[in-house]
Amino acid sequence: MEVKNKIVIVTGAGSGIGRATAIHFAKHGATVVVSDINLEKAQKVSEEIVTNKGNALPIKANVAKYEEVENLIKETVSEFGKLDVIVNNAGIGPHLLKTHESTLKDWERVISVNQTGVFYCMKVALNQFLEQGYGNIVNIASLAGLKASPNNISYSASKFAVVGMTKSAAMEYATKNIRVNAVCPGYTESALLNQLINAKPEMDAILKSVIPMKRYGKAIEIADAVVWLASDNTRFITGQTITLDGGTSL
């Protein structure tokens, strides 16, 4: 995939899909800014990339804070002179409750990261992309942003929003050499999935029963699609949501 020498930011890159995506970009020759709210985790992923002869820079950022997003992109451009791609992956899961039982605190916590955080990253990155004349955004949405997801109101709302923001921005900047796409993973091996299964162990069998492939996705499988969308191999693709769910949406 044609991402060699591209400067790429991956948010929430300290673990899970973000970590796999950062490493995958580096393997294909990109320079990766490994961003995470947990600097220690970001540093470990960055060190792993450098150990394997890749290029990486760890930067701490809480995407729910606008000034930290501004600093993330400012620092990246200051260090490398440009920004080619931003992967908006940072996200958190909710407490699994029915809508009427959900707390205001939980709603605000999830929306601030999963929805507002993506908006902040898109807004600041787009200003940079418009200035330099090109750019590429890949948002990490979810199957929960395409299909009903009970006991999951805040997460579902946030991911439906990411799909909508992706499509709206893709139309706005299609003539500006800026592409905006999203991937919608189904049940994928991750901290969020572990959180669900730990809370309700019976969910493991239930979830696998609705996946035609009878297994969870792997983070590297999601990363592969992200790097592909960010590459020059997909220059005529924008505004799309690619679903990776082992057939669950069927």
**Catalytic site residues?**
155
18: amino acid identity, one letter:
G
Distance CA 199, CA 97 (A): 11
Instruction: Give residues with Cβ within 8 angstroms of 60, minimum separation 6.
Output: 35, 36, 37, 38, 39, 42, 68
Dump the DSSP string for 46-65: HHHHHHTT-EEEEEE--TTS
Q: Which residue has the tokens 């002869």?
A: 53
Distances (CA, A) of 36 to 19, 88, 198, 211, 230: 10, 11, 24, 30, 20
Classified as helix, coil or strand, 225 is helix
Name beta bridge partners: 181: 138
Q: How many CB atoms lie within 10 A of CB 232?
A: 12
Residues 87 and 11: beta-carbon distance below 8 Å: yes
